[in-house]
A and B are shown apart, each in its own frame.
Chain A
Amino acid sequence: MLECTLLPPSESQPATLRVEGNADITFILQFKTALVEALQAHPNLYVDCADMTEADFSCVQLLWSTHQSYPGMRVTPAGREALTPVILAAGLDRVQGFCLSGDPGDCLWAAPDPPLGKKSDTNCPV
């Protein structure tokens, strides 16, 4: 099961799409639909994956494609447990958009902690 809830923007944070459950190939079409709908109203969307229980490469690919089309979209820092192993397994830890970007607008992550256990001396702006 996958549940996507759009939280409106507040003073403390931009509009956020909360993703709960399995973001894998089974529900990936549903995930894309939710993302597209949310982004149409809020291009600087935050995607909160804290309650994502499972993810696979289709999910990561979708997030990457979304970020290419909507550079303002970010994945929130907390709870990347489901995504991190997939990113590492897919060899995306060296790929621009995930951490090696020299352009702050080109990174998927929203938080300043170095993602995926990388040293903070990478070019990653977060």
Chain B
Amino acid sequence: MSNPHEAFREEAYELLTSLESSLLELEESPDDLEIVGAVFRAMHTIKGSGAMFGFDDISSFTHDIETVYDLVRNGELAVTGALVSLSLAARDQIKAMLDATCGGDSCDATRTEELRGAFRALLPVKEDASAAAPGPGKVANPAAALQRTYRIRFRPNREIALSGTNPLCLLNELRELGKCQVVAQMDDVPPLADLDPEQTYAYWDVILTTGEDIDAIKDVFIFVEDDCHIQIDLIDDEELLGTDSSYKKLGDILIERGDLTPDALQEVLRQQKRVGEMLVEAKVVSPSKVASALAEQQQVKEIRSQQQQKQQGGDAASIRVPADRLDRLVDLVGEMVTIQSRLSQTALGREDAELISIAEEVERLTAELRDNTLNIRMLPIGTTFSKFKRLVRDLSQELGKEIELTTAGADTELDKTVIEKLNDPLVHIIRNSIDHGIEAPEKREAAGKKRQGTIRLAAIHSGDSVIIEIVDDGAGLNEEAIRRKAVEKGLVGEQELLSRHEVFQLIFAAGFSTAEKVTGVSGRGVGMDVVKRAIEALRGSIDIDSVAGQGTTIRVRIPLTLAIIDSLLVAIGEDCYVIPLSIVEECIELTRADVAASHGRNLVRVRDRLVPYVHLRDEFAIAGPPPEIEQVVITAVNGNQVGFVVDHVIGEHQTVIKSLGRMYRDVQGLSGATILGDGKVALILDIPQLIQRAEQLA
């Protein structure tokens, strides 16, 4: 059985993330009741689940906030900036409480009480907190909600109680969703001699009429769904069964549930008694199952006679799958791609038309499987963007600046792993923009700008990559200050001629910082070189442009996925190497005559331009003479073209990326390895690092 406490924590962290986004949206649209509802639901779920899993302090604290938001959604309390700020602080406190439960720093109880007091102070004096809290059967806007009736069979894992989960709390959660009848089924409880009292043998039938959709019901079981059998059937709404107040007969309900066979029913019906009695007497159905079916019949009849059902219930379009299962699936698809490559190679080698045809079919299916599998791991980058709203809000307040964060392309999808690793570099870039980029309001006004600065965060697809732009309308980079600092640090010579673009690139040099003082916001000893390295570790690139007085644009290019990439396979001597296709521009030949004509300067003419190149045979100290005609693979990184000389270009290749072992992790110029169709290992070249190394040697 998976650890339900861990499941709760995981889910609670997710809820806190969405809660933060909702609160920030609420600050912008304080009258939007949908957002208020989202905040309330998040608090309500954390409260209910917290209580269920024994996180009583979290549950109790969240209850106070939920109470306030219940007033807000009922129109009894207005959303103000102060309430949002308080709620954000409470959200942080809940997170701290959660952190403390899994080995984090202990939570400041005084702060909890302060916040609790602040929320209670928002309640009207006459209001009794317990009365304001949503109680069983209390449903939001019952008159307005579309009522549907569900039949739920909840069969918990027998060890549910031992894991600290109280199944009755789940039933009470269901009761909070609407009109609810719960019937326990005790058939499976063994006699005393065989009973292990720590096990839960019972299961439950629940008839629930609610205005909430099926997702709200599923949410109740969210922490136990992997270990318990949960069946939810929509049994009544207007479109399914009409508005007639009659309902199915008892026998039909029992047959539909699978509790009774049609033959057994027919047999009993011949006796002409009340069917429930007859069925129990005939011992074909237990009394509790009859009670449960009667509850369903009674409730649906009641609801039908009370009001018309107006809307068809929609089923959930998604399921929750643990991330490690997806990772495993991607690994398996990677293995499949490798084997498929081997199959294709073998088929071609044997010149067997039938085998080649099968190999082609497998190749087509594998490509489809690969694309679909990688798509499953794709997440919208908006989840990361929403975190930055909070960052910008808090930091701008701290620094006394007025900054608005606008986002675009939040729906742009990236591999889950990439998104996770992108967070820290983006945080650092945005911190820099807030601290060093955007000016103080007075300074902006003096410069003829709006008091409020803007940071724009945009993501857009570009081929097999995503480009993320961070644009601020601040003071821009000080070209002269950067140059001066670079000279001081010995990064460039005093008389060295540099283009504007080259000067800006200096900020990515190790240890470079132009900030006059270290602030709490940026200047924490982590420079933009770390950001650059983090982006390059994702096989991405970073570029910067700036106009003094107008602002700075940082452009990050990131590959869509880190698992399988399209690449160019090249050979040097007996070995094969892989170059990511996304940075390859073209391939040209390099003859001995070309080499002689460049007089040892490692430059090759590509149409009207001279492009520097790196001789990989020399770089990797590969023995043996090169072929008469070599190939130069021209790459483009951060806008600069650099060639890489190889013996042969073999062709395009689907590369399943395998990480290098610990022993080889620090080898310069290599970022991973892959297995080729013939079983050989090919190393993946880290082109940005190779370029950097060549620049240092030059």
Which A residues have a C-beta under 8 Å from some C-beta of B?
25, 28-29, 31-32, 35-36, 39, 56-58, 61-62, 64-66, 68-70, 86, 89-92, 94-97, 100-101
Contact = CB atoms under 8 A, between A and B. Distances in A.
A45 B602 CA distance: 99
Contacts, number: 91
| Chain B contact residues, majority secondary structure | mixed
Q: Counting chain B CB atoms within 10 Å of each CB, which of A29, A31, A94 scores highest?
A: A94
Contacts of A65: 189-192, 195
A89 B193 contact: no
A64 B505 CA distance: 76
Contacts of A97: 186
A55 B112 CA distance: 30
Contacts of A35: 192
B288 A96 contact: yes
| The 8 A-B residue pairs with the shortest CB-CB distance in the complex, in nearest-first order | A91-B182, A69-B192, A96-B287, A28-B197, A89-B168, A69-B191, A94-B291, A32-B197
Interface stretch (B94-102, B159-167, B308-316, B653-661): B159-167
A58 B167 contact: no
B196 to A, nearest CB: 9
A58 B192 contact: no
Contacts of B384: none
Contact of B161 (A57, A64, A91): A57
Contacts of A68: 189, 191-192
B287 A95 contact: yes
B195 A57 contact: no
A39 B192 CA distance: 11
Contact of B198 (A29, A69, A70, A101): A29
Nearest to B295: A94
B168 A90 contact: yes
Contacts of A36: 192
B198 A58 contact: yes
B183 interface: yes
B181 interface: yes
Interface string B270-293: 000000000000000011100100
Contacts of B388: none
Q: Counting chain B CB atoms within 10 Å of each CB, which of A36, A56, A95, A97 scores highest?
A: A95
Interface string B179-212: 0011110100111110101101110111000000
Contact of A69 (B171, B193, B197): B193
A58 B183 contact: no
Nearest to A35: B192
A57 B200 contact: yes
B189 A57 contact: no
A90 B169 CA distance: 9
Given A56-B166, A62-B195, 19 more contacts: A28-B198, A35-B192, A36-B192, A61-B186, A61-B202, A64-B189, A68-B192, A89-B171, A89-B182, A90-B204, A91-B171, A91-B182, A91-B184, A94-B291, A95-B184, A95-B288, A96-B288, A96-B291, A97-B186
Nearest to A89: B168
A56 B204 CA distance: 16
Nearest to A39: B192
B494 to A, nearest CB: 77
A90 B182 contact: yes
Given A65-B191, A91-B183, A56 B161 contact: yes
Contacts of A86: 168
B575 to A, nearest CB: 63
B172 interface: yes
16 contacts: A28-B198, A29-B198, A31-B197, A32-B195, A39-B192, A56-B161, A57-B200, A58-B198, A86-B168, A90-B184, A94-B291, A95-B183, A95-B287, A95-B291, A96-B288, A100-B287
B168 to A, nearest CB: 4
A65 to B, nearest CB: 5
Contacts of A56: 161, 166, 168
B197 A58 contact: yes
A68 B48 CA distance: 34
Given A32-B197, A95-B287, A89 B172 contact: yes
B451 to A, nearest CB: 57
Nearest to A86: B168
A25 B161 contact: yes
B168 A57 contact: yes
Interface string B513-525: 0000000000000
A28 B161 CA distance: 11
A90 B171 contact: yes
Contacts of A90: 168, 171, 182, 184, 202, 204
